[in-house]
């Protein structure tokens, strides 16, 4: 049976930062729906052209398109042992579709860490976020600064600020999260897989809390 972990939390909670570290330590594939959309925008593909409008407005890409994209990703060999899902599912329809897909792939969701952070901190985190152009490595000008301003420590590529991190779009993303994604917290609590993680701690402490809770579930 393959092990799946679903990372839940509002925009800026630290899902991407933590998913990269934790997936590597657990030997699971890291699947970030946001990263896949951004790669498609960069290429650009038809999927990228479609997703861009929604992402720039801070809205969700339609369920059917997103579910098909994740299905294709889960079929790749690196998901045989399981995966850590970062940014998917984000609606009840996506959560139900994931369950159906995992039946086919002989997988199960063992843990759903929900990283919570107060709203004011989310806005500050996103305003100061710098992302690497080549591979999406994540930095923050105050909380996780690169050694050289504007350059990724890991691959030396240029750092940029995401289009959807502008203040008005961030507010819209948080609203969309509250309306469409927050109901999944209760959904997974009822399935007894939800683990609440205090995301206001320093990055290393959040990692330690996550590793402890996820290992318990696997
Ligand atoms: P996506 O890329 O998934 O964005 P998001 O969920 O809004 O999450 P973020 O990437 O903004 O934040 P994060 O929680 O990963 O935080 P991070 O680690 O970077 O989605 C973008 C868009 O794509 C969506 O709006 C939608 O349009 C579309 N989309 C994606 N998935 C979809 C789906 N399933 N269905 C439909 N549409 C979809 O951290 C943020 C900052 O804080 C960084 O600077 C970091 O260095 C810093 N930081 C992290 N942890 C800490 C800490 N503990 N203390 C201090 N600073 C910290």
Active-site residue, selected from the candidate residues 15, 20, 38, 125: 15
User: Is residue 173 among the annotated active site residues?
Assistant: yes
Residue 82 Cβ contacting ligand 1 at under 6 Å: no
Atom of ligand 1 nearest to the CA of 128: 44
pLDDT digits (tens, 9 = 90+) for 121-165: 999 999 999 999 999 999 999 999 999 999 999 999 999 999 999
Residue 3 CA: distances (Å) to CA of 81, 108, 111, 194, 215: 6, 6, 9, 15, 11
Question: Of these residues, 20, 38, 73, 129, which one is catalytic?
Answer: 129
Best residue among 67, 140, 181, 199 to mutate for probing ligand 1's pocket (most ligand atoms within 8 Å of CB) is 140
- Cα(95) to ligand 1 centroid in Å equals 18
CATH 3.40.50.1110 fits 2-117+181-217, yes or no: no
Beta bridge partners of 46: none
Q: What is the mean pLDDT of residues 40-55?
A: 97
Ligand 1 center to 101 CA (angstroms): 24
Atom of ligand 1 nearest to the CA of 176: 25
What is the reported pLDDT for 42?
A: 94
What local confidence, expressed as pLDDT, does residue 195 receive? Answer: 96
Instruction: Name the band, by pLDDT with cuts 50, 70 and 90, for residue 216.
Output: confident
Query: Catalytic: which of 57, 162, 172, 189?
Result: 162
Distance 167 CA to ligand 1 centre (A): 14
Q: What pLDDT score does 215 carry?
A: 83
User: Which tens digit of pLDDT belongs to each residue from 163-208?
Assistant: 999 999 999 999 999 999 999 999 999 999 999 999 999 999 999 9
């Amino acid at each position: 049976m393959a092990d799946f972990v679903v990372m839940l939390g509002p925009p800026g909670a630290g899902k991407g930062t933590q998913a990269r570290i934790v997936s590597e330590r657990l030997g699971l594939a890291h699947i970030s729906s946001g990263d896949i959309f951004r790669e498609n925008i960069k290429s650009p593909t038809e999927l990228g052209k479609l997703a861009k409008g929604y992402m720039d407005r801070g809205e969700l890409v339609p369920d059917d398109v997103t579910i098909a994209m994740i299905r294709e990703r889960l079929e790749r060999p690196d998901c045989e042992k399981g995966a850590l899902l970062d940014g998917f599912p984000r609606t009840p329809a996506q959560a139900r579709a994931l369950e159906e897909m995992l039946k086919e792939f002989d997988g199960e969701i063992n843990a759903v860490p929900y990283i919570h952070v107060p709203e004011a901190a989310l806005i500050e985190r996103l305003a100061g976020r710098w992302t690497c152009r080549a591979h999406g490595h994540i930095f923050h000008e105050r909380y996780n600064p690169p050694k050289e301003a504007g350059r990724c420590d890991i691959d030396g590529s240029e750092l940029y600020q995401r289009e959807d991190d502008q203040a008005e779009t961030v507010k819209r993303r948080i609203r969309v999260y509250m309306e469409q994604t927050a109901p999944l917290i209760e959904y997974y609590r009822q399935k007894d897989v939800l683990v609440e993680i205090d995301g206001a701690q320093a990055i290393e402490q959040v990692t330690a809390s996550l590793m402890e809770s996820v290992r318990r579930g696997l």
